[in-house]
Amino acid sequence: MASQESLLVRQYLMTAKASQTAGTDIEIARQGLESFSSLTPVAPDIIVEKTKIEDIPAEWVIAPNAVEDRVFLYLHGGAYIMGSCNTHRYLASKLSQSTAARVLVPEYRLAPENPFPAAIEDAVKVYRWLISSGIAPDNIIIGGDSAGGGLTLATLLSLKGEDEALPALAVLLSPWTDLEGTGESMETRADVDPWLSPDATRAIPTLYTRDLDLSHPLVSPIYADLSGLPSMLVHVGNDEILLSDSARLVDRAREAGVEVTFKVWDDMWHVFQTFAIPEGQQAVDEIGEFVQKHFNY
């Protein structure tokens, strides 16, 4: 049964969803996400360090128990058009604590000002910087939510294509893996999803892709050759229109020989882990267990 806290958040999201339109101004959407995220501040014992990786702004988020040489490269969501260190600092702090890793959140370039492949180029650049800084690939976790989940896969595919050593693990939260919006949950979950709407979700991708085919494997990774990717954890809400994006990704990853831990969370919505609700904390704890089992600490 859903917690009382989650029911209150769901009600809030449904009210906001009712006012959504496909043509919402991008700057208004960006400001709205920034304002909403400020409602969940990080704990006082979390260290936050601003940095810059070449020309890319970024932020280290470090819990007291974080291991120095273990890094979680986290790629924030936001439909490739919004999101920042600010919007994902709370989640990053929780992930640092649960995984005992230093979390690095880069502010990759956003569309429409910087369309495909700018975000991928930035994510790859940050990963290579970590390696050049002395962090071993075996000590790196890569992950992200929504568009950040899709970007995580695109980054891994790009690195694989260059025969580069891949991170140890991937963590995907409600990953956006089909920008064509062909999953059946786009229709079957439309009424129960308290946050996302099919029309708005299908209207956004071309801001990022422009004239590129939406089935391009670096845009919609469900069409990619996923063989050789690291073990991954995939979480998705049962009540979200992107449920099929995760389910089909998991099926194709397993068919390609990738080890996948997959969980569908009852009564939950898109990237519920970003909210200060009991279910969000439980999911973060399970991410920590997944990582700690791999590193055996």
* 29 token code pair: 């959407």
Active site residue 240: yes
Query: Rounded to whole angstroms, how far apart are CA atoms 242 and 7?
Result: 20
Q: Which string of DSSP letters, residue by residue, matches 238-263? A: TTSTTHHHHHHHHHHHHHTT--EEEE
Measured torsion, CA atoms of residues 12, 171, 89, 30, in degrees rounded to the nearest 10: -60
Chain centroid, CA 38 distance in Å = 18
| AA letter at 154 | A
**Catalytic-role residue among 76, 88, 235, 270:** 270
10 Å Cβ neighbour count for 105?
A: 29
Active site residue 146: yes
Range list of H helices, 185-227 = 185-188, 198-203, 205-209
Active site residue 88: no
**Catalytic-role residue among 6, 146, 174, 185:** 146
CB 151 within 8 A of CB 120: yes
Q: Which string of DSSP letters, residue by residue, matches 129-166? A: HHHHTT--GGGEEEEEETHHHHHHHHHHHHHHHTTPPP
**Catalytic-role residue among 6, 107, 185, 240:** 240
Strands (E), 130-229: 140-145, 169-173
* 268 token code pair: 């939950």
Q: Tokens 């397993």 map to which residue?
A: 254
List residues with catalytic annotation: 146, 240, 270
